[in-house]
Amino acid sequence: MENERLDPWGNSAVDNYERLRSEFGIEPLKPLLTRFKHPSLHIRRGIDFGQRDLGRVLDAVDSNKSFAVMSGIKPTGVFHLGTKMTADDMVYFQTLSKKATVFYAIADVEAFNDNGLSFQQSSKIAIQNVADILALGLDPERAVVYKQSQEIRVMRMATIFSKAVTNNMLRAIYGERQVGLYLSALIQAGDILMPQLPEFGGPKPVVVPVGADQDPHIRLSRDLANSYREDFGFIPPSAIYHRLIRSLDGSTKMSKRSSNSSFALDEDPSSAAKKVMSGLTGGRPTVEEQRRIGGEAEKCPIYDLYLFHFAAEDEYAKRVYDECYGGIRMCGECKQELAGIVKKYLEEHRRKRDSLMKDAEELLENSRKSLDSMPR
């Protein structure tokens, strides 16, 4: 049996999340489910499947203590459905407590090293990304948004961390990569640990919502938190992991790199609907066979879209699943139904996002001023 591959900069293939958990020491989320009073859609449906030390963050929620929610998103394009999942989880954890602050790193150094995007290009895209997360519900009053390339604290920490990390350690976590990507990894560790610096209130629980493929960054950050515990008092960051949504063309992960594999949140609604209509399904070769033995929702990228994003009610997602397996639902009508929902969602999201562009610029500007005014 082949090992699961986890590559934060490539197309990770995860066939078996249970095996992935045990291989990399990720804890199951299930034992903590009763601690969520209002679990998010991702948590209720098992899309968030694993965690590391999440109990520490839930303790902070229960005892009304400060904690941080941190994630970095590469500004390589408009949010697509994969990045929306991370953003949704960031927003959800922020809603759990008035003592939660979101740190959103615009990962422009990583975008430069991994995707060849100049900082100027990233800068333009980043404003739209921030407007996207505001439209998804981020409270700007409890959010710090910054560009990696401009934040001296993360650069300084990356420099400090580089003394404790050897080439062999990075190779063991990430495989043989260009030095720029290793540098991005150290900067990401700086992002993840920055909320625990004295100017942000010192050591505290931090939850990092990520896709399963980003686990190498979490492992590196946790190792570094332990290595620098004496110097900074770091608490190893916690993480919650979501499954990777399959692409519409059937490949393992939706990616901004392949335009037909997904659609962005600013895609023309009709074009997105067309992509849905041409997406792969878990259907049978003939209608007769599908009626007789049912479709396979679990193998179906269209069902993923219902489950991960577009069936707001659990009952509706269950109905799609049951009707598919029961041979009541045919793929053509199932896609048609989803295309209608997607169109409506994108129109609504675009309206919200466009109205928030100015707020996004303000949030970036206010965060920059506030970060610059703090001791460094």
In the complex, the residues that contact ligand SF4 under the rule CB under 6 A are 281-283, 295-297, 300, 302-303, 320, 324, 329, 331, 334-335
Give yes or no for a contact between 133 and 100, defined as CB atoms under 8 angstroms apart.
no
Report in angstroms how near the CB of residue 324 gets to ligand SF4 at its nearest.
3
With respect to ligand SF4, which residue has the nearer C-beta, 116 or 285?
285
Residues paired with residue 28 on neighbouring β-strands, in sequence order: 50
Report in angstroms how near the CB of residue 313 gets to ligand SF4 at its nearest.
16
With respect to ligand SF4, which residue has the nearer C-beta, 189 or 297?
297
Other beta carbons less than 10 A from residue 296's beta carbon:
15
Report in angstroms how near the CB of residue 287 gets to ligand SF4 at its nearest.
11
Report in angstroms how near the CB of residue 294 gets to ligand SF4 at its nearest.
8
Angle, helix 269-277 to helix 331-355, in steps of 10 degrees? 160
Report in angstroms how near the CB of residue 316 gets to ligand SF4 at its nearest.
12
Give the alpha-carbon dihedral of 77, 258, 51, 235, to 10 degrees: -40
With respect to ligand SF4, which residue has the nearer C-beta, 296 or 359?
296
Report in angstroms how near the CB of residue 333 gets to ligand SF4 at its nearest.
8
Report in angstroms how near the CB of residue 373 gets to ligand SF4 at its nearest.
52
Separation of alpha carbons 260 and 276, rounded Å: 10
Give yes or no for a contact between 78 and 58, defined as CB atoms under 8 angstroms apart.
no
With respect to ligand SF4, which residue has the nearer C-beta, 77 or 283?
283
Report in angstroms how near the CB of residue 320 gets to ligand SF4 at its nearest.
6
With respect to ligand SF4, which residue has the nearer C-beta, 218 or 320?
320
With respect to ligand SF4, which residue has the nearer C-beta, 21 or 335?
335
Q: Which distant-in-sequence residues (6+ apart) come within 8 Å of 327 by Cβ?
A: 290, 291, 292, 293, 294, 295
Separation of alpha carbons 323 and 327, rounded Å: 6
Report in angstroms how near the CB of residue 251 gets to ligand SF4 at its nearest.
16
Give yes or no for a contact between 204 and 233, defined as CB atoms under 8 angstroms apart.
no
> Pairing relation of β-strands 206-211 and 67-73?
parallel
Separation of alpha carbons 272 and 255, rounded Å: 15
* Burial class of residue 10, CB neighbours in 10 A (0-12, 13-18, 19+): middle
With respect to ligand SF4, which residue has the nearer C-beta, 130 or 297?
297
With respect to ligand SF4, which residue has the nearer C-beta, 314 or 372?
314
Residue among 49, 47, 135 at smallest CA distance from 87: 135
Cα→Cα distances 61→13, 134, 369, Å: 34, 22, 29
Give yes or no for a contact between 226 and 164, defined as CB atoms under 8 angstroms apart.
no
With respect to ligand SF4, which residue has the nearer C-beta, 140 or 295?
295
